[in-house]
Amino acid sequence: MKKIELDIVALSHSVTQSHNYAVVLGEQDGSRRLPIVIGGFEAQAIAVAMERMTPNRPLTHDLFKNTLETFEIELKEVIINNLLDGIFYARLICLKDGEEFEIDSRTSDALAMAVRFNCPIFTYEFILDAAGVILEDSEEEGAEKQTPAEKPKTTTGKKSKRKKSVSGNTLSSYTTDELSKMLEEVLADEDYERAAKIRDEIQRREGQDS
């Protein structure tokens, strides 16, 4: 069966399920998109890897990646191989000592691993036929402008004046040194959405200085 390669093109709140998120996969050689509803934790795991953030302690998917690498197992590719009753199924295609084997996985976890290993993501024609959509140009541009770490919200349950000061448009009032210290603090609290905003502000300033 011919495989169709996909890219992650957007990560946002789910339109149909308010407490979940949707990862949108785009066909590399076509215009179809495959939206998949995932949980908040999985969305955050994907966003952290896509934004190249380094958590204070390894997340579950980082731990699994480190384990595979320790035992010299390579993640060759991820395949979204089935769709039953609205649920997507996936397989991790792994290599060790030249031998290929498969591991069953939730699709959201498989995508989080694919981003960490920078390996290709595939699906089959019948899945795109059943669940794929073709976005209008304006919708596609809007979806692809979303950065992965903008939407997922962390749910640590901790609130403080320091955290409130990080949100909104107040970042411009801080010095670069203060922002760097703040970045370390929010990463320690595993608040990756705020970390992404602080990092973007630091990079913006570095770009102006160069």
| pLDDT tens readout for residues 172-181 | 778 888 877 8
Question: Can you tell me the distance from the alpha carbon of 143 to that of 155, in angstroms, rounded to the nearest whole number?
Answer: 24
Task: Return the CATH number of the domain spanning residue range 3-144.
Answer: 3.10.690.10
Contact predicate 119/76, CB 8 Å:
yes
E-state strands within 97-171: 99-106, 121-124, 133-134
DSSP-derived letter for residue 158 is -
What is the domain partition of the chain in residue ranges? 3-144, 161-209
Does the structure show a pLDDT above 80 at 101? yes
- The larger pLDDT score, comparing residue 24 to residue 160, is at 24
The structure tokens listed for 208 are 């102006």
| pLDDT tens readout for residues 58-81 | 889 999 999 999 999 999 999 999
Lowest-confidence region among 8-17, 73-82, 122-131, 138-147: 138-147
pTM of the model: 0.67
Does the structure show a pLDDT above 60 at 141? no
